[in-house]
Structure 1
Amino acid sequence: MTAMLLLLIILVFSLMIASATAINGNQTKPGCELYCGNITVPYPFGMGKECSIDEWANINCSTAFSPPKPFIGNIEVIEFSQNEVRLKNLVATSCYNASGFLNGFTSSFYLSGTPYRFSSTKNKFTVLGCNITGLAISVRQTVNYSTTSVRQTVNYSSGCGTSCYGRENIIQGSCSVGSGCCQSSIPEGFNEIYIELLDTSVENHTNSLSCGAAFIAEEDKYKFKASDLNFRNFPSLTEVPMVLNFAVGNQKCEEAKQNATTYACKENSYCYDLVDDGTGYLCNCSDGYKGNPYLNQGCQDVDECENPSNNDCEKICTNTQGSYYCSCPDGLYGDGKKDGKGCTKKNKEFPILQLTL
Structure 2
Amino acid sequence: MGSSWWNEVWLLVLALVWVLFESAADAATQPNSNCSTQCGSLKIPFPFGTTESCYLDSSFLISCNHTSSGPTPYLSTDNITVLDISLDGEMRVSAAVATGCYDSNGTRINATSENRNYNLSRNHHYLSVSSSRNKLTAVGCNTIGEIIGFDDTAGLSYTTGCVSSCLRINDTTDGVCNGAGCCQSPIPAHGRLSGISYASVKGFVHRNQVFGFNPCGYAFVAEEGAYSFSSTDLTNFHYQSLPMVLDWSVGNLSCQEAKKNASNYACKAENSECYNSSSGFGYLCNCSTGFRGNPYLLGGCQDINECLHKESNDCYSGAICKNIPVGSYTCSCPKGYEGDGRENGTKCRRVCVGVIALLVISFYVYWGMKEKRLNKLKEQFFQQNGGFILLEQISRHRGSMEIAKVFTVDELKKATNNFDESKILGKGGQGTVYKGLLSDNRTVAIKRSKISGSTQVEQFINEVVLLSQINHRNVVRLLGCCLETEVPLLVYELISNGTIFQHLHDHNQSLKLTWGTRLRIAIETAGP
Query: TM-score, structure 1 length as denominator?
Result: 0.77
The match for 1:245 among 247, 252, 259 is: 247
Q: CA deviation at 1:229?
A: 1.9
Q: Is the 8 A contact 1:175 1:183 kept in 2?
A: yes
| Bigger shift: residues 311-320 or 240-249 | 311-320
The match for 2:146 among 118, 132, 135 is: 135
Task: Determine the C-alpha separation between the residues in 1 that align with 2:338 and 2:252.
Answer: 50
Q: What does residue 208 of structure 1 align with? A: 213
The match for 2:126 among 115, 134, 145 is: 115
Query: TM-score, structure 2 length as denominator?
Result: 0.53
Q: CA deviation at 1:29?
A: 5.1
Question: Residues 64 and 327 (structure 1 numbering): CA distance in 2 closer, same or farther, change over 3 Å?
Answer: same
Task: Determine the C-alpha separation between the residues in 1 that align with 2:149 and 2:341.
Answer: 55
Q: What does residue 199 of structure 1 align with? A: 203
- Map 1:243-282 onto structure 2 (within 5 A): 243-266=245-268, 267-275=270-278, 277-282=279-284
Q: What does residue 19 of structure 1 align with? A: none
Q: Deviations over 1:280-327 (max 9, x none)?
A: 111111111001111111111111233466442834624222112356
Q: What does residue 47 of structure 2 align with? A: 44
Question: Residues 333 and 265 (structure 1 numbering): CA distance in 2 closer, same or farther, change over 3 Å?
Answer: same
Give, as a single letter, the amino acid of the residue that structure 2 aligns with 1:139: F
Q: Is the 8 A contact 1:318 1:326 kept in 2?
A: no
Q: Is the 8 A contact 2:103 2:208 kept in 1?
A: no
| Bigger shift: residues 260-269 or 211-220 | 260-269
Q: CA deviation at 1:84?
A: 0.4
Give, as a single letter, the amino acid of the residue that structure 2 aligns with 1:283: C
Q: What does residue 319 of structure 1 align with? A: 324
- Map 1:114-193 onto structure 2 (within 5 A): 114-142=125-153, 151-154=154-157, 156-176=158-178, 178-188=179-189, 189-193=192-196
Q: Is the 8 A contact 1:170 1:226 kept in 2?
A: yes
Q: Is the 8 A contact 1:315 1:336 kept in 2?
A: no
Question: Residues 132 and 263 (structure 1 numbering): CA distance in 2 closer, same or farther, change over 3 Å?
Answer: same
Report which of the two has the higher share of strand: 1
Q: What does residue 341 of structure 2 align with? A: 337
Q: Is the 8 A contact 1:315 1:343 kept in 2?
A: no
Q: SS of the residue aligned with 1:201?
A: coil
| Structure 1, gaps ≥5 residues long | 1-26, 143-150, 348-357
Q: Deviations over 1:22-77 (max 9, x none)?
A: xxxxx965321121011111111110131111222100111024321111111111
For the pair 1:58 / 2:61, whether they are aligned, the reply is yes
For the pair 1:84 / 2:87, whether they are aligned, the reply is no
Q: What does residue 148 of structure 1 align with? A: none
The match for 2:110 among 98, 103, 112 is: 103
Give, as a single letter, the amino acid of the residue that structure 1 aligns with 2:119: Y
Q: CA deviation at 1:195?
A: 1.3
Q: SS of the residue aligned with 1:241?
A: strand
CA RMSD of aligned residues (A): 2.7
Q: Deviations over 1:61-103 (max 9, x none)?
A: 1102432111111111111111101111211101113464521
Q: CA deviation at 1:233?
A: 2.6
Q: SS of the residue aligned with 2:152?
A: strand
Give, as a single letter, the amino acid of the residue that structure 2 aligns with 1:52: Y
Q: Is the 8 A contact 2:100 2:108 kept in 1?
A: no
Larger radius of gyration: 2
Aligned length: 305
Q: SS of the residue aligned with 1:108?
A: strand
**Fraction of identical pairs, as percent:** 39
Q: SS of the residue aligned with 2:273?
A: strand
Q: Is the 8 A contact 2:333 2:341 kept in 1?
A: no
| Structure 2, gaps ≥5 residues long | 1-29, 354-528
The match for 2:33 among 19, 30, 33 is: 30
Q: What does residue 3 of structure 1 align with? A: none
Q: CA deviation at 1:250?
A: 0.8
Q: Deviations over 1:150-180 (max 9, x none)?
A: x4323x122111111010111221212x111
Task: Determine the C-alpha separation between the residues in 2 that align with 1:175 and 1:192.
Answer: 25
Q: What does residue 7 of structure 2 align with? A: none
Q: What does residue 233 of structure 2 align with? A: 228
Report which of the two has the higher share of helix: 2
Q: Is the 8 A contact 2:276 2:283 kept in 1?
A: yes
